[in-house]
Structure 1
Amino acid sequence: MQVTFQHIQTLVDRIEANLADDVNVLGLADAFHMSPWHFQRTFKSLIGDTLGGYIRGRRLTRAAQLLLESRRSVIDIAVSVGFNSHEAFSRSFKAYFNVTPKAFRAERPAITLREKPLLTLELFQHLADGMDQNPVITERPEQHLIGQQIAIPSPFVSDVDYCDLLFTPWTDLLSVEAALPGRVPGEYFGLMVSPSGTFTEDSLFYLAGAGVQQPIADPGEGMVALSFPAQQVAMFDIYSGTEDTVAQTVDFIYGYWLPNSQYTRAGGHDYEYFENVSDFTVPRLHSRYVLPIQPKT
């Protein structure tokens, strides 16, 4: 099943009608015949927010409307939009609106409440505006890497900026890469790894890896080894290599290119691929975002 903006709009409408209900990411992904990673990436690219962030924002927006439009108690409103306690609701509400529910009701601040997005074909196509992304479709051989990893907040459940955290694994990797066995010169990989494989955790791992010629059974203390099978991939050019640039490319891939291409996402990891790199401080560093694909059936 290929996800379109109509499918996501139906999902959004369902969420709107049942804001207090728990949303099972694994169940939703399975309903669309997608991996949790693919589903959450697609949702974010089309809506502009993670599934968890969107639901949290809509629940709090609905609560704000009820605070202004009704005389219901704060705890009654909290429960009606899916919060289990007054404390959790008040904490989330203040973090979102920068004011407590009680003060919000009393002061009636001039805040524009966030309405649900109404997806249209024009918005769907607008995701590609100004982006000339023609990927290279190719068969990649089996690849092996060894690297350093660090825990980061999951971009699927948090808006916390993790870019500064990536400095550590890359610095650690570059300090030891000369001693790595079978090193492939100038070849590097960056990717997110889910401990469960579902990408539903609050925390994921970011792996900064260097290419090696053979799989490594014992990578050594503090190191992680990983292999990619031979597979067909789409490779998208990225320039400058900033977190925002990569995120925009990923949004384009999942929100526009993949639904409109003759391919679906295959199993395996997405990753950022650096080749022939001699200096990571070079302005407009060139990399490629690599997506495993298979022909639509």
Structure 2
Amino acid sequence: MDYLEKIQDFSDYVEAHIEEDMNINAIINQLYYSKFHFYRVFKAVVGLSVHEYVKRRKLARAADCLLHTKDSILTIALQFGFQSQEVFIRNFKKIYGVPPGKFRKVQIPMRSNNRINVESIRLNMKLAKGKAIVNEHLETINDLMLVGVIHRVSDSNPLSIIERMTNFFTKAHLVPNQLNGNVYRVCLDFDTNNEAASFQELIAIEVSNLSQIPDGMVGKVIDNVHVVTYTHQGKLFTEEEGKIIDTYHFIYQYRIPLLKATLTSDYIIEKYGKDFKGPYEDDAHMNISLSIIPEGSNQNQ
């Protein structure tokens, strides 16, 4: 799949319907297999969230109208889908630094909020060098049996995983039939109705069978799942920043746009080896696997 072309298709749709009340989720459903991954790829590549990009394009077109028409501020606000003149003024001032009336009066030069051009993005990707070191390969996960704890969590605070992982490590010894000491974090059942997605998060240890599951824990089998796997090496977090977040950003910005397979929203699987000592260790090692439809497979898009 050409992920950059999907971004261009989205941008072209926005431009063609800029004065309409767009259902962004519905648009993405038509263009792309996984809303969750589209949001992440878009933000990593473009530098803005999908919703912020649409808003800035509306404001840019509104700013052009302020400079080149005599329409009232209220008329322009309603033309581009802002619910009231007050909402329009507030958003306009955040981007342009002045209210629209002053912007029109003194003819302030427009700040660049250009539409997307994927060819320039492709060129930048070729010239840029990512900061994260990751390896990539395609594989199929078969008969992976896990026992652990599951929670509904939000994508808005990724650093909160540290506490949940730490809590699980204190309980992991209670799980019988452990196979090799590998610990997994599995994200599934994604809800992308809001800009910050939520999902079920299973933190678990690999087992040989599911015959015994401790109270308060669940069992899960992952079988015949095609994935693209990236390997992160080095600290996952420092006291100041999340290195693993840099790795995810690198993957979505530089690797996934070149991926020929199609990402799905079935699973994101993080695997921590038996020697994993914690997210602050210099030699931390983990695999990140994203579920895919392999190139050439039948897709219902």
TM-score by length of 2: 0.74
8 Å CA contact 2:185, 2:203 repeated in 1: yes
User: Is the 1:183–1:210 Cα contact (8 Å) retained in structure 2?
Assistant: no
Deviation at 1:228, TM superposition (A): 2.6
Q: Which residue of 1 aligns with 2:143?
A: 142
Q: CA deviation at 1:246?
A: 1.4
The residue that corresponds to 1:170 in the other structure is 165
Would the aligned equivalents of 2:270 and 2:287 in 1 still touch at CA under 8 Å? yes
Unaligned stretches of 5+ residues in structure 1: 155-161
Q: In structure 2, do the counterparts of structure 1 residues 278 and 133 end up closer, same or farther at CA, with 3 Å as the change threshold?
A: closer
- Range that drifts further, 237-246 or 167-176: 167-176
- Verify the 8 A CA contact 1:194 1:204 in the aligned structure 2: no
Q: 1:78 to 1:267 in 2, by over 3 A?
A: closer
Q: 1:152 aligned to 2:154? A: yes
Equivalent residue number for residue 253 of structure 1: 255
1:30-179 mapped onto 2 (5 Å cutoff): 30-32=29-31, 34-97=33-96, 99-102=98-101, 104-105=103-104, 112-120=111-119, 123-124=121-122, 126-127=124-125, 129-130=128-129, 134-143=135-144, 144-147=146-149, 149=151, 151-152=153-154, 162-179=157-174
- Give the structure 1 partner of residue 240 of structure 2: none
5+ residue gaps, structure 2, are: 237-242
- Identity value in percent: 20
**Alpha-carbon distance change, 6 to 167 in structure 1, aligned in 2, over 3 angstroms:** closer
TM-score (norm. length: structure 1): 0.75
Distance 1:180 1:25, change over 3 A: farther
* CA distance in 2 between partners of 1:185 and 1:98 (Å): 57
1:58-103 residue CA offsets vs partner (Å, 9 max, x unmatched) = 1122223333444432222221112222343334334444554445
Taking the aligned partners of 1:226 and 1:99, their CA distance within structure 2 comes to: 55
2:296 is matched with 296
* Cα distance between partner residues in 2 of 1:26 and 1:51: 10
2: CA distance, partners of 1:59 / 1:218: 53
Match of 1:287 in 2: 286
Matched with 1:157 is none
Determine helix, strand or coil for the equivalent of 2:33.
Answer: coil
Q: Which structure: larger Rg?
A: 2
- Counterparts of 1:278 and 1:191, CA distance in 2: 19
Q: CA deviation at 1:40?
A: 3.4
Q: Matched residue of 2:266: which SS?
A: coil
1:269 Cα deviation after fit: 0.8
**Deviation string, structure 1 residues 26-55 (Cα, Å, up to 9, x no partner):** 543443461323443444454343322211
CA distance in 1, matches of 2:284, 2:108: 45
Q: For residues 72 and 268 of structure 1, do their structure 2 counterparts lie closer, same or farther at Cα, with a shift above 3 Å needed?
A: same
Match of 2:226 in 1: 232
- Distance change in 2, residues 1:93/1:179 (3 Å): farther
